[in-house]
Amino acid sequence: MGHALSNSLATSRKRPNHIPALDGVRLVAVGLVILHHITSGAHTSFFLHLINMQHDNGIGPPLFFVLSGTLLTKVILDARNAENRYRNFLLRRALRIFPLYFGYLGLLTLATWVETGKLPSYLWVFALFSQNIFVYYAGHTSSVFHTYHLWTIAVQDQFYLIWPLLLWRCNSNRQMRLLCSAGIVLSVLSHVVLLYPGFPQEYAMRSLPAVAGCMCLGGLLALEGREKTILTPIFLKSLIPLSLVCALWMWHGLVFMSPLGSVVGYQLVALTCAAVIARALQPTSMIARTLGSNFFATGGKKYAFGMYMLHPCLLNFVDLLGIHSLAVRLTLFLASTIVLSGLSYRFYESPFLHIQVGGRKKRSSEAAAPKSIGTTFANPSLSS
Protein backbone atom coordinates (compact mmCIF):
# COMPACT_ATOMS: atom_id res chain seq x y z
CA MET A 1 0.00 0.00 0.00
CA GLY A 2 1.45 2.76 -0.92
CA HIS A 3 1.24 5.32 0.89
CA ALA A 4 -0.14 4.34 -1.21
CA LEU A 5 0.80 6.83 -0.48
CA SER A 6 2.42 9.68 -2.02
CA ASN A 7 -0.04 12.39 -2.90
CA SER A 8 -1.74 10.87 0.05
CA LEU A 9 1.46 12.04 1.57
CA ALA A 10 1.12 15.77 1.11
CA THR A 11 3.91 18.28 1.33
CA SER A 12 4.70 20.10 4.52
CA ARG A 13 3.65 23.46 3.11
CA LYS A 14 0.36 24.75 4.48
CA ARG A 15 -2.52 24.97 2.04
CA PRO A 16 -5.64 27.02 2.53
CA ASN A 17 -7.88 24.00 1.98
CA HIS A 18 -5.78 21.57 4.00
CA ILE A 19 -7.95 19.15 6.00
CA PRO A 20 -6.08 17.67 9.02
CA ALA A 21 -8.55 14.78 9.34
CA LEU A 22 -7.33 13.42 6.00
CA ASP A 23 -3.82 13.26 7.42
CA GLY A 24 -5.35 11.23 10.23
CA VAL A 25 -6.96 8.89 7.71
CA ARG A 26 -3.52 8.35 6.21
CA LEU A 27 -2.11 7.33 9.59
CA VAL A 28 -4.99 4.90 10.11
CA ALA A 29 -4.32 3.37 6.69
CA VAL A 30 -0.65 2.88 7.55
CA GLY A 31 -1.65 1.38 10.88
CA LEU A 32 -3.94 -1.11 9.12
CA VAL A 33 -1.11 -2.14 6.79
CA ILE A 34 1.28 -2.62 9.70
CA LEU A 35 -1.29 -4.60 11.68
CA HIS A 36 -1.89 -6.81 8.67
CA HIS A 37 1.81 -7.53 8.28
CA ILE A 38 2.22 -8.20 12.00
CA THR A 39 -0.75 -10.55 12.31
CA SER A 40 -0.87 -12.11 8.84
CA GLY A 41 -2.29 -15.59 9.20
CA ALA A 42 -2.73 -15.29 12.97
CA HIS A 43 -6.01 -16.68 14.27
CA THR A 44 -4.88 -17.84 17.71
CA SER A 45 -7.08 -15.38 19.58
CA PHE A 46 -10.24 -13.35 19.10
CA PHE A 47 -8.25 -10.10 18.96
CA LEU A 48 -5.75 -11.30 16.36
CA HIS A 49 -8.53 -12.77 14.26
CA LEU A 50 -10.45 -9.49 14.48
CA ILE A 51 -7.61 -7.32 13.22
CA ASN A 52 -6.61 -9.87 10.58
CA MET A 53 -10.08 -10.48 9.15
CA GLN A 54 -8.97 -9.53 5.66
CA HIS A 55 -6.75 -11.93 3.76
CA ASP A 56 -4.29 -11.11 0.96
CA ASN A 57 -3.52 -7.37 0.80
CA GLY A 58 -5.65 -6.25 3.75
CA ILE A 59 -7.95 -3.25 3.95
CA GLY A 60 -5.18 -0.67 4.20
CA PRO A 61 -4.47 -0.35 0.45
CA PRO A 62 -8.09 0.40 -0.60
CA LEU A 63 -8.26 3.10 2.08
CA PHE A 64 -4.98 4.52 0.82
CA PHE A 65 -6.16 4.57 -2.76
CA VAL A 66 -9.49 6.26 -2.05
CA LEU A 67 -7.70 8.83 0.10
CA SER A 68 -5.07 9.34 -2.58
CA GLY A 69 -7.74 9.93 -5.21
CA THR A 70 -9.43 12.52 -2.97
CA LEU A 71 -6.26 14.46 -2.23
CA LEU A 72 -4.88 14.16 -5.73
CA THR A 73 -8.07 15.47 -7.32
CA LYS A 74 -8.15 18.42 -4.91
CA VAL A 75 -4.54 19.31 -5.79
CA ILE A 76 -5.18 18.97 -9.52
CA LEU A 77 -8.24 21.22 -9.43
CA ASP A 78 -6.43 23.83 -7.34
CA ALA A 79 -3.62 23.88 -9.92
CA ARG A 80 -5.96 24.10 -12.91
CA ASN A 81 -5.10 27.70 -13.80
CA ALA A 82 -1.45 27.67 -12.72
CA GLU A 83 1.42 28.17 -15.14
CA ASN A 84 3.40 25.05 -16.05
CA ARG A 85 0.83 23.12 -14.08
CA TYR A 86 1.71 19.58 -15.21
CA ARG A 87 5.46 20.04 -14.85
CA ASN A 88 5.11 21.61 -11.41
CA PHE A 89 2.63 18.96 -10.31
CA LEU A 90 5.03 16.15 -11.23
CA LEU A 91 8.00 17.92 -9.63
CA ARG A 92 6.14 18.32 -6.34
CA ARG A 93 5.12 14.68 -6.37
CA ALA A 94 8.72 13.68 -7.11
CA LEU A 95 10.04 15.77 -4.22
CA ARG A 96 7.63 14.00 -1.89
CA ILE A 97 8.21 10.45 -3.09
CA PHE A 98 11.62 10.11 -4.70
CA PRO A 99 13.99 10.95 -1.80
CA LEU A 100 12.74 8.26 0.57
CA TYR A 101 11.77 5.79 -2.15
CA PHE A 102 15.13 5.86 -3.94
CA GLY A 103 16.95 6.22 -0.62
CA TYR A 104 15.33 2.95 0.41
CA LEU A 105 16.43 1.33 -2.86
CA GLY A 106 19.96 2.63 -2.28
CA LEU A 107 20.11 1.16 1.23
CA LEU A 108 18.64 -2.05 -0.15
CA THR A 109 21.40 -2.28 -2.73
CA LEU A 110 24.16 -1.55 -0.22
CA ALA A 111 22.86 -3.98 2.39
CA THR A 112 22.47 -6.77 -0.16
CA TRP A 113 25.99 -6.25 -1.50
CA VAL A 114 27.51 -6.19 2.00
CA GLU A 115 25.70 -9.35 3.11
CA THR A 116 25.84 -11.44 -0.08
CA GLY A 117 28.61 -9.88 -2.14
CA LYS A 118 26.14 -9.44 -5.01
CA LEU A 119 23.90 -6.66 -6.16
CA PRO A 120 20.12 -7.16 -6.16
CA SER A 121 18.58 -8.27 -9.42
CA TYR A 122 15.95 -6.50 -11.49
CA LEU A 123 16.14 -3.17 -9.67
CA TRP A 124 15.20 -1.49 -12.94
CA VAL A 125 11.65 -2.67 -12.24
CA PHE A 126 11.52 -0.51 -9.11
CA ALA A 127 13.40 2.38 -10.68
CA LEU A 128 10.71 2.55 -13.38
CA PHE A 129 7.86 2.14 -10.87
CA SER A 130 6.65 -0.95 -12.71
CA GLN A 131 6.86 -3.60 -9.99
CA ASN A 132 3.10 -4.08 -10.12
CA ILE A 133 3.43 -4.95 -13.82
CA PHE A 134 6.55 -7.11 -13.85
CA VAL A 135 5.54 -9.01 -10.76
CA TYR A 136 7.85 -11.96 -11.38
CA TYR A 137 10.98 -9.81 -11.53
CA ALA A 138 9.83 -7.73 -8.57
CA GLY A 139 9.58 -10.90 -6.51
CA HIS A 140 13.03 -12.24 -7.44
CA THR A 141 15.46 -9.46 -6.57
CA SER A 142 17.46 -11.52 -4.03
CA SER A 143 17.41 -8.43 -1.83
CA VAL A 144 17.96 -8.65 1.90
CA PHE A 145 15.38 -5.87 2.31
CA HIS A 146 11.68 -6.43 1.76
CA THR A 147 10.13 -4.91 -1.35
CA TYR A 148 6.65 -6.46 -1.29
CA HIS A 149 5.05 -3.21 -0.07
CA LEU A 150 6.41 -0.97 -2.83
CA TRP A 151 3.77 -1.93 -5.40
CA THR A 152 1.38 0.68 -4.01
CA ILE A 153 3.91 3.43 -4.73
CA ALA A 154 4.16 2.22 -8.33
CA VAL A 155 0.43 2.05 -9.00
CA GLN A 156 -0.16 5.48 -7.48
CA ASP A 157 2.59 7.06 -9.57
CA GLN A 158 1.13 5.53 -12.71
CA PHE A 159 -2.22 7.08 -11.82
CA TYR A 160 -0.54 10.44 -11.10
CA LEU A 161 0.83 10.60 -14.63
CA ILE A 162 -2.58 10.15 -16.24
CA TRP A 163 -5.19 11.66 -13.93
CA PRO A 164 -4.22 15.36 -14.22
CA LEU A 165 -4.31 15.20 -18.01
CA LEU A 166 -7.77 13.64 -17.99
CA LEU A 167 -9.23 16.00 -15.39
CA TRP A 168 -7.90 19.12 -17.09
CA ARG A 169 -9.65 18.04 -20.27
CA CYS A 170 -13.00 18.37 -18.52
CA ASN A 171 -14.67 21.77 -18.55
CA SER A 172 -17.42 21.18 -15.97
CA ASN A 173 -18.05 19.35 -12.72
CA ARG A 174 -20.52 17.15 -14.57
CA GLN A 175 -17.86 16.00 -17.04
CA MET A 176 -15.45 15.27 -14.20
CA ARG A 177 -18.08 13.22 -12.39
CA LEU A 178 -18.72 11.27 -15.57
CA LEU A 179 -14.99 10.69 -15.91
CA CYS A 180 -14.76 9.39 -12.33
CA SER A 181 -17.83 7.20 -12.82
CA ALA A 182 -16.41 5.77 -16.05
CA GLY A 183 -13.15 5.00 -14.27
CA ILE A 184 -15.02 3.12 -11.54
CA VAL A 185 -17.05 1.08 -14.04
CA LEU A 186 -13.98 0.20 -16.11
CA SER A 187 -12.10 -0.78 -12.98
CA VAL A 188 -14.86 -3.19 -11.93
CA LEU A 189 -14.88 -4.67 -15.44
CA SER A 190 -11.11 -5.08 -15.26
CA HIS A 191 -11.55 -7.23 -12.14
CA VAL A 192 -13.73 -9.54 -14.21
CA VAL A 193 -11.24 -9.67 -17.09
CA LEU A 194 -8.24 -10.20 -14.80
CA LEU A 195 -9.84 -13.34 -13.37
CA TYR A 196 -8.89 -15.07 -16.63
CA PRO A 197 -6.28 -17.74 -15.79
CA GLY A 198 -3.79 -16.31 -18.25
CA PHE A 199 -3.17 -13.26 -16.08
CA PRO A 200 -0.93 -13.38 -13.00
CA GLN A 201 -3.08 -13.53 -9.88
CA GLU A 202 -1.44 -10.39 -8.49
CA TYR A 203 -2.83 -8.30 -11.37
CA ALA A 204 -6.33 -8.60 -9.93
CA MET A 205 -5.27 -6.49 -6.93
CA ARG A 206 -2.14 -4.62 -7.99
CA SER A 207 -2.60 -3.45 -11.57
CA LEU A 208 -3.59 0.13 -12.32
CA PRO A 209 -6.93 -0.83 -13.94
CA ALA A 210 -7.86 -2.89 -10.88
CA VAL A 211 -7.23 -0.15 -8.29
CA ALA A 212 -8.02 2.94 -10.38
CA GLY A 213 -11.66 2.61 -9.34
CA CYS A 214 -10.71 3.35 -5.73
CA MET A 215 -8.88 6.51 -6.74
CA CYS A 216 -11.73 7.58 -9.03
CA LEU A 217 -14.07 7.06 -6.10
CA GLY A 218 -11.84 9.41 -4.12
CA GLY A 219 -12.08 11.84 -7.01
CA LEU A 220 -15.86 11.88 -6.63
CA LEU A 221 -15.45 12.74 -2.95
CA ALA A 222 -13.18 15.67 -3.85
CA LEU A 223 -15.77 16.95 -6.33
CA GLU A 224 -18.45 16.69 -3.65
CA GLY A 225 -16.42 19.17 -1.63
CA ARG A 226 -16.89 21.73 -4.41
CA GLU A 227 -20.46 21.04 -5.43
CA LYS A 228 -22.70 18.87 -3.26
CA THR A 229 -24.90 16.21 -4.86
CA ILE A 230 -26.97 13.32 -3.57
CA LEU A 231 -23.73 11.33 -3.13
CA THR A 232 -22.77 13.17 0.06
CA PRO A 233 -25.79 12.11 2.16
CA ILE A 234 -25.59 8.62 0.67
CA PHE A 235 -21.99 8.18 1.79
CA LEU A 236 -22.64 9.70 5.20
CA LYS A 237 -25.63 7.47 5.91
CA SER A 238 -24.09 4.28 4.52
CA LEU A 239 -20.99 4.08 6.72
CA ILE A 240 -22.49 1.90 9.46
CA PRO A 241 -24.38 -0.52 7.14
CA LEU A 242 -21.40 -0.90 4.82
CA SER A 243 -19.03 -1.44 7.74
CA LEU A 244 -21.24 -4.15 9.19
CA VAL A 245 -21.56 -5.97 5.87
CA CYS A 246 -17.79 -5.80 5.27
CA ALA A 247 -16.98 -6.97 8.80
CA LEU A 248 -19.34 -9.94 8.57
CA TRP A 249 -18.03 -10.98 5.17
CA MET A 250 -14.41 -10.60 6.26
CA TRP A 251 -15.10 -12.59 9.40
CA HIS A 252 -16.51 -15.42 7.32
CA GLY A 253 -13.66 -15.47 4.84
CA LEU A 254 -13.70 -12.67 2.28
CA VAL A 255 -10.69 -13.20 0.03
CA PHE A 256 -9.90 -10.51 -2.54
CA MET A 257 -8.24 -13.02 -4.86
CA SER A 258 -11.39 -15.11 -5.20
CA PRO A 259 -13.80 -14.31 -8.07
CA LEU A 260 -16.57 -13.00 -5.82
CA GLY A 261 -14.13 -11.25 -3.52
CA SER A 262 -12.43 -9.50 -6.42
CA VAL A 263 -15.54 -8.37 -8.31
CA VAL A 264 -17.82 -7.60 -5.36
CA GLY A 265 -15.91 -7.73 -2.08
CA TYR A 266 -13.12 -5.35 -3.08
CA GLN A 267 -15.63 -2.80 -4.35
CA LEU A 268 -17.62 -3.09 -1.13
CA VAL A 269 -14.51 -2.38 0.93
CA ALA A 270 -13.67 0.58 -1.31
CA LEU A 271 -17.17 2.03 -0.79
CA THR A 272 -16.77 1.62 2.96
CA CYS A 273 -13.45 3.45 2.82
CA ALA A 274 -15.12 6.23 0.82
CA ALA A 275 -17.83 6.50 3.48
CA VAL A 276 -15.16 6.88 6.17
CA ILE A 277 -13.43 9.64 4.22
CA ALA A 278 -16.78 11.35 3.56
CA ARG A 279 -17.28 11.52 7.33
CA ALA A 280 -13.73 12.83 7.76
CA LEU A 281 -14.58 15.65 5.34
CA GLN A 282 -17.41 16.79 7.63
CA PRO A 283 -15.73 19.08 10.21
CA THR A 284 -18.33 18.44 12.91
CA SER A 285 -18.34 14.65 12.69
CA MET A 286 -16.73 12.54 15.40
CA ILE A 287 -14.43 10.94 12.83
CA ALA A 288 -13.23 14.35 11.62
CA ARG A 289 -12.65 15.63 15.15
CA THR A 290 -10.79 12.49 16.17
CA LEU A 291 -8.64 12.06 13.07
CA GLY A 292 -8.06 15.80 12.87
CA SER A 293 -6.57 15.86 16.36
CA ASN A 294 -2.89 16.71 16.71
CA PHE A 295 -1.90 13.09 17.33
CA PHE A 296 -3.44 11.66 14.18
CA ALA A 297 -2.91 14.67 11.90
CA THR A 298 0.76 15.10 12.80
CA GLY A 299 1.39 11.36 12.58
CA GLY A 300 -0.23 11.16 9.17
CA LYS A 301 1.55 14.22 7.83
CA LYS A 302 5.07 13.64 9.14
CA TYR A 303 5.43 9.99 10.08
CA ALA A 304 3.14 7.91 7.88
CA PHE A 305 5.27 7.71 4.73
CA GLY A 306 8.41 6.76 6.65
CA MET A 307 6.48 4.22 8.71
CA TYR A 308 5.11 2.65 5.56
CA MET A 309 8.45 2.50 3.78
CA LEU A 310 10.54 1.25 6.70
CA HIS A 311 8.28 -1.02 8.73
CA PRO A 312 8.80 -4.32 6.82
CA CYS A 313 12.57 -4.23 7.31
CA LEU A 314 12.29 -3.19 10.94
CA LEU A 315 9.79 -5.97 11.56
CA ASN A 316 12.20 -8.50 10.06
CA PHE A 317 15.13 -7.04 12.03
CA VAL A 318 13.27 -7.33 15.34
CA ASP A 319 12.34 -10.94 14.55
CA LEU A 320 16.00 -11.74 13.90
CA LEU A 321 16.94 -10.56 17.40
CA GLY A 322 15.43 -13.73 18.80
CA ILE A 323 13.56 -12.03 21.64
CA HIS A 324 11.06 -14.48 23.09
CA SER A 325 8.63 -11.98 24.57
CA LEU A 326 6.02 -10.92 22.00
CA ALA A 327 5.27 -7.73 23.95
CA VAL A 328 8.93 -6.72 23.95
CA ARG A 329 9.27 -7.44 20.23
CA LEU A 330 6.18 -5.39 19.37
CA THR A 331 7.27 -2.51 21.61
CA LEU A 332 10.73 -2.47 20.07
CA PHE A 333 9.31 -2.66 16.56
CA LEU A 334 6.79 0.14 17.04
CA ALA A 335 9.26 2.40 18.87
CA SER A 336 11.97 1.95 16.23
CA THR A 337 9.46 2.50 13.40
CA ILE A 338 8.15 5.74 14.90
CA VAL A 339 11.58 7.09 15.83
CA LEU A 340 13.21 6.32 12.49
CA SER A 341 10.28 7.68 10.49
CA GLY A 342 10.39 10.88 12.55
CA LEU A 343 14.12 11.26 12.00
CA SER A 344 13.67 10.57 8.30
CA TYR A 345 11.07 13.30 7.97
CA ARG A 346 12.97 15.85 10.04
CA PHE A 347 16.45 15.46 8.59
CA TYR A 348 15.99 13.78 5.20
CA GLU A 349 12.54 14.33 3.67
CA SER A 350 11.72 17.80 5.00
CA PRO A 351 14.51 19.69 3.14
CA PHE A 352 13.18 18.37 -0.17
CA LEU A 353 9.64 19.38 0.73
CA HIS A 354 10.72 22.99 1.27
CA ILE A 355 12.17 23.32 -2.21
CA GLN A 356 10.06 25.86 -4.08
CA VAL A 357 8.67 24.57 -7.37
CA GLY A 358 7.17 27.05 -9.81
CA GLY A 359 4.64 29.52 -8.48
CA ARG A 360 0.97 30.02 -8.01
CA LYS A 361 0.78 32.54 -10.84
CA LYS A 362 -2.25 32.15 -13.08
CA ARG A 363 -1.86 31.89 -16.81
CA SER A 364 -2.71 35.19 -18.46
CA SER A 365 -5.56 33.71 -20.49
CA GLU A 366 -7.16 32.43 -17.29
CA ALA A 367 -6.33 35.14 -14.80
CA ALA A 368 -9.87 36.35 -14.79
CA ALA A 369 -11.37 32.89 -14.31
CA PRO A 370 -13.34 32.42 -11.08
CA LYS A 371 -11.37 30.76 -8.34
CA SER A 372 -14.17 28.47 -7.24
CA ILE A 373 -15.16 25.71 -9.60
CA GLY A 374 -18.76 25.97 -10.64
CA THR A 375 -20.70 24.15 -13.28
CA THR A 376 -18.53 25.30 -16.17
CA PHE A 377 -14.84 26.21 -16.34
CA ALA A 378 -13.40 29.22 -18.10
CA ASN A 379 -10.74 27.39 -20.06
CA PRO A 380 -10.58 23.64 -20.62
CA SER A 381 -7.20 23.83 -22.36
CA LEU A 382 -4.66 21.16 -21.47
CA SER A 383 -1.55 23.12 -22.37
CA SER A 384 1.04 23.37 -19.66
Q: What is the 3-state secondary structure (H, E, C) of the chain?
A: CCCCCCCCCCCCCCCCCCCHHHHHHHHHHHHHHHHHHHHCCCCCCHHHHHHCCCCCCCCHHHHHHHHHHHHHHHHHHHCCCECCHHHHHHHHHHHHHHHHHHHHHHHHHHHHHHHHCCCCCCHHHHHCCCCCCCHHHHCCCCCCCCCCCCHHHHHHHHHHHHHHHHHHHCCEHHHHHHHHHHHHHHHHHHHHHCCCCCCCCCHHHHCHHHHHHHHHHHHHHHHHCCCCCCHHHHHHHHHHHHHHHHHHHHHCCCCCCCHHHHHHHHHHHHHHHHHHHHHHCCCCCHHHHHHCCHHHHHHHHHHHHHHHHHHHHHHHHHHHCCCCCHHHHHHHHHHHHHHHHHHHHHHHHHHHHCCCCCCCCECHHHCCCCCCCCCECCCCCCCC
For a pLDDT cut of 70, what percent of the chain falls above it? 84
The tens digit of pLDDT for each residue in 131-168 reads: 999 999 999 999 999 998 999 999 999 999 999 999 99
Q: What pLDDT digit, counting tens, does each position of 49-75 carry?
A: 455 555 555 788 999 999 999 999 999
Residue 38 — pLDDT band, cuts 50, 70, 90? confident
pLDDT per residue as tens digits for the range 237-281: 999 999 999 888 887 778 888 899 899 999 999 999 999 999 999
Distance CA(384)–CA(377), nearest Å, equals 16
* Mean of pLDDT over the chain: 86
What pLDDT shows up at residue 204? Answer: 84
Can you tell me the distance from the alpha carbon of 367 to that of 361, in angstroms, rounded to the nearest whole number?
A: 9
pLDDT band for position 81 (cuts 50, 70, 90): confident
Between 360 and 168, the higher pLDDT residue: 168
Higher pLDDT, 14 or 333: 333
Residue range 160-188: average pLDDT? 96
**Residue 375 pLDDT > 50:** no
